[in-house]
Copies of this chain bind each other. A is one copy, B any other.
């Protein structure tokens, strides 16, 4: 039996290494790939995805899993077998040709999307989006069997959840968010704004410093610029990207802290798990909890922004804000902006709920790609009280759907809910947290996250993990309490 496990894990270790390579191809494409290499890159991605698919569907996996079923007690071994089985079942349900086609199409689609976004040209992206929706619908049908197609896609990102459960949770959130929004929006509009230009090289230098402050180990990573900030890789090579804009240093600062939350999660997983299924973050929702707690509950706190204010004055000189308190208001300004990744904490989840509803409709077939822009614009006007002025502020703003990522968006709000739970537990465990943050040192907080969440990788399910760390199952209550307290104090 131990021989079967050793054989299985030796095979799986190679698969994990190949998956790291495939992931790094994506990093390369977004950061350093020559623009003229698009078509060849699509073939390369299809080739490695075909290899990965063949390995994940390999009948030997089925044999090993059958041999080992119910014979293993060690929790790490149990978890690895559970994760391998899930991947194997998925791979055997999706035809290899479909997997390869999806890889090739999404590779090309990414560039088509970027061009369409740059040219404010929704029509240029539509045929591509239609193909990707059709392919993902086909995949969802293969995965779901008799079940719900969208639920089947959700399992790739947040195993164990369902559209129904999320709809309940989001339904509980929404009225409170809308209410909070109305309570604070007028006063928040009066928050001071930054003035002047912020040297982009200095922004990148500050990004590197903040990355270190939030526990990112750059000797096993790197920071580059990309259109859409992301974190990529596991184990010893976890890279992040950020972006800079001369007029808005917060874009770079908070994108960096956000991606460092993801990257440091991967970096703090027990190295004994490297290149095994357990050696990666357990779900997109838990991943997002790690990025959002760093970005918001820690990075946008009164204590930390006090320290950050001094850092920014030292780097950028005068930028029109004269006190820490005013700076705290500026950082936490609430306004109905167009862009999800730049949204404040009050509006952010409303952006996500919009996408969650629209992508469910795309996958069910209730919404056609050609009607997406109108549906987006109507919903945005209704929820945010503002009309979309151009597609890059609307349905072309996110890379996700061009990558075929349907079922991913709701994990952002789920991550915020988890972050709310973890933040409450963290505050209880570390009474001196604000003193640390005021010194620019989230180290004790990230160490607590390391010990209670990060080091475990995929050992526990998302629900188990949050329950172990906080003492209670995930619930939207702590997030709502945190938001309400923070923003009514700031702006009510």
A24 at the A/B interface (Cβ < 8 Å)?
A: yes
A230 to B329, CA, bound (A): 52
Are B21 and A222 touching (Cβ within 8 A)? no
Task: Point out the residues of chain B lying under 8 angstroms from A39, CB to CB.
Answer: 236
From the candidates B13, B21, B219, name the one contacting A25 in the complex (CB within 8 A). B21
Task: Point out the residues of chain B lying under 8 angstroms from A34, CB to CB.
Answer: 218-222, 236-237, 239
**How distant is A16 from chain B, measured CB to nearest CB, in Å?**
8
Are A24 and B28 touching (Cβ within 8 A)? yes
A28 to B27, CA, bound (A): 11
**How distant is A32 from chain B, measured CB to nearest CB, in Å?**
6
Are B275 and A33 touching (Cβ within 8 A)? no
Name which of A24, A32, A44 has the most chain B CB atoms within 10 A of its CB.
A44
> Are A21 and B47 also in contact (CB < 8 A) when A28-B28, A41-B237 are?
yes
A275 to B41, CA, bound (A): 11
> Are A47 and B28 also in contact (CB < 8 A) when A40-B236, A41-B237 are?
no
A165 to B479, CA, bound (A): 77
Nearest chain B residue, comparing its CB with the CB of A33:
B237
> Chain A, 32-74, contact with B by CB distance < 8 Å: what is the 0/1 string?
1111111111011011101100000000000000000000000
A393 at the A/B interface (Cβ < 8 Å)?
A: no
A14 to B43, CA, bound (A): 8
Task: Point out the residues of chain B lying under 8 angstroms from A47, CB to CB.
Answer: 13-15, 17-18, 21
A87 at the A/B interface (Cβ < 8 Å)?
A: no
Task: Point out the residues of chain B lying under 8 angstroms from A440, CB to CB.
Answer: none
A351 at the A/B interface (Cβ < 8 Å)?
A: no
A374 to B243, CA, bound (A): 52
A15 to B50, CA, bound (A): 11
A24 to B33, CA, bound (A): 11
Are A36 and B275 touching (Cβ within 8 A)? no
A32 to B40, CA, bound (A): 21
Nearest chain B residue, comparing its CB with the CB of A219:
B36
A235 at the A/B interface (Cβ < 8 Å)?
A: yes
A47 to B48, CA, bound (A): 12
Task: Point out the residues of chain B lying under 8 angstroms from A13, CB to CB.
Answer: 43, 47
**How distant is A278 from chain B, measured CB to nearest CB, in Å?**
16
A274 at the A/B interface (Cβ < 8 Å)?
A: yes
Are A235 and B51 touching (Cβ within 8 A)? no
A2 to B239, CA, bound (A): 45
A41 to B24, CA, bound (A): 11
Are B237 and A40 touching (Cβ within 8 A)? yes
Task: Point out the residues of chain B lying under 8 angstroms from A219, CB to CB.
Answer: 34-36
Are B220 and A37 touching (Cβ within 8 A)? yes
**How distant is A401 from chain B, measured CB to nearest CB, in Å?**
25
A274 to B50, CA, bound (A): 19
Nearest chain B residue, comparing its CB with the CB of A100:
B14
Task: Point out the residues of chain B lying under 8 angstroms from A35, CB to CB.
Answer: 219
Nearest chain B residue, comparing its CB with the CB of A42:
B17
A-B residue pairs in contact (CB < 8 Å), sample of 29: A13-B47, A14-B47, A14-B50, A15-B47, A17-B43, A17-B44, A18-B48, A18-B51, A21-B21, A24-B25, A32-B32, A34-B218, A34-B219, A34-B221, A34-B236, A34-B237, A34-B239, A35-B219, A36-B217, A36-B220, A37-B235, A39-B236, A40-B235, A40-B236, A40-B274, A41-B236, A41-B237, A43-B275, A51-B51
For the complex of A and B, list the 3 residue pairs with the smallest distance between their C-beta atoms, beginning with the closest: A17-B47, A37-B237, A36-B220
Given contacts A14-B47, A21-B25, 6 further A-B contacts (CB under 8 A): A17-B47, A34-B220, A37-B220, A37-B237, A40-B274, A40-B275
